[in-house]
Amino acid sequence: MAIRIPRGWELPESAVTPESVFLNRRQIIQGLAAGSIAAAAPGLAWGATDSDDPSAGLYPVARNERFEPGEGRKLTDEEWATRYNNFYEFGTSKKIWKAAQALKIRPWEVRIDGEVESPRTIAIDDLLSQMPLEERVYRHRCVEAWSMVVPWTGFAFREFVRFANPTANARYVAMETFLDPETAKGQRQDWYPWPYVEGLTMEEANHELAFLVTGLYGKPLPRQNGSPLRLAVPWKYGFKSIKSIVRFTFTTERPVSFWEEMNSREYGFWANVNPAVPHPRWSQATEKDLGTGKRIPTKIFNGYGEWVAALYEGNTDATLYR
């Protein structure tokens, strides 16, 4: 197969195809003998790596218009969101998207245990078929002071909580990424506390903004973005939004997250975006918008204060500690 279309990231930024155009291109590719061409030429278009994702037929889904990019913000180009990533399991640079294609996303099971009425394991496609999917445009602010605005597809975390049926004792939910050093070479670096772990209070998990993500730009979530299931908590620094989740454990005690374990002086449990609290090694007052490169002021709770500030009333730890 020698079809060769230059890829977006091989072009100068000025020549990158606008979303509407590559959506059409993707529709065309999908229309062509489903699978055969896309499978023969992986990387042909943005969506082509999805061709082996059995959930592809679920997308796109309707956008929930309650969530907006924010004043002066525009959607980040898909190529930036899918080619500039943090996923330490596949390396510490931002260019891990190719390495991440090694991730086996099926079969994929999600374990639900701890303080639940009955622990269970569910296959991702069973879970997907039971959850109400919607699209939400969220801002994402990395602790490294870059940010993006992307359309995630997924379901409200609180729908998942209802499904998991925790006991009244549950105060936190801990989440865990897969552990497979065979495919994820970063996990052979044994000075990191693998697997990646994150956690939320039950109040946070039940907040309507907390979102479990299964798709991006109207397609199944690319592996490099944390397929098949990742978190999006847009009022917190990006490292809270754990990727490729295999386990949810409801607990009475606060979990210690991956980055907190690595360096608790720099990364805490709450990690609420706060421009007034600098990282020990850099300011958090501004951020660089991915793609445009524009420097913009960082907002408290990443601009979601109206939604979430009430969660932290009287909890100075949560707002003043990083």
Compute the least distance from the CB of residue 273 to ligand MTE, in Å.
Answer: 12
Compute the least distance from the CB of residue 189 to ligand MTE, in Å.
Answer: 12
Written as one string, the DSSP assignment of 116-163 is BSS-EEEEHHHHHHHS--EEEEEEEE-TTSEEEEEEEEEEEHHHHHHH
Please tell me whether residue 256 binds ligand MTE under the rule CB under 6 A: no
Q: Which listed residue (151, 154, 238, 291) binds ligand MTE by CB under 6 A?
A: 238
CA distance 130 to 296: 39
Q: Which listed residue (88, 211, 250, 267) binds ligand MTE by CB under 6 A?
A: 88
CA distance 229 to 177: 10
x/- mask, Mo ion, residues 230-269, rule CB under 5 A, reads --------xx------------------------------
The residue number with the shortest CB distance to ligand MTE is: 238
Whether 127 contacts 225, CB under 8 Å? no
Compute the least distance from the CB of residue 240 to Mo ion, in Å.
Answer: 9
**CA-CA-CA-CA torsion for 95, 97, 98, 103, nearest 10 degrees?**
140
Please tell me whether residue 142 binds Mo ion under the rule CB under 5 A: yes
- Rounded to the nearest 5 degrees, what angle is found at the Cα of 235, between the Cα atoms of 230 and 238? 45
Comparing CB distances to ligand MTE, the nearer of 170 and 242 is: 242
Binding to ligand MTE in span 172-201, by CB under 6 A: 177, 196
Chain contacts with ligand MTE (rule: CB under 6 A): 85-89, 142, 177, 196, 225-226, 238-239, 241-244
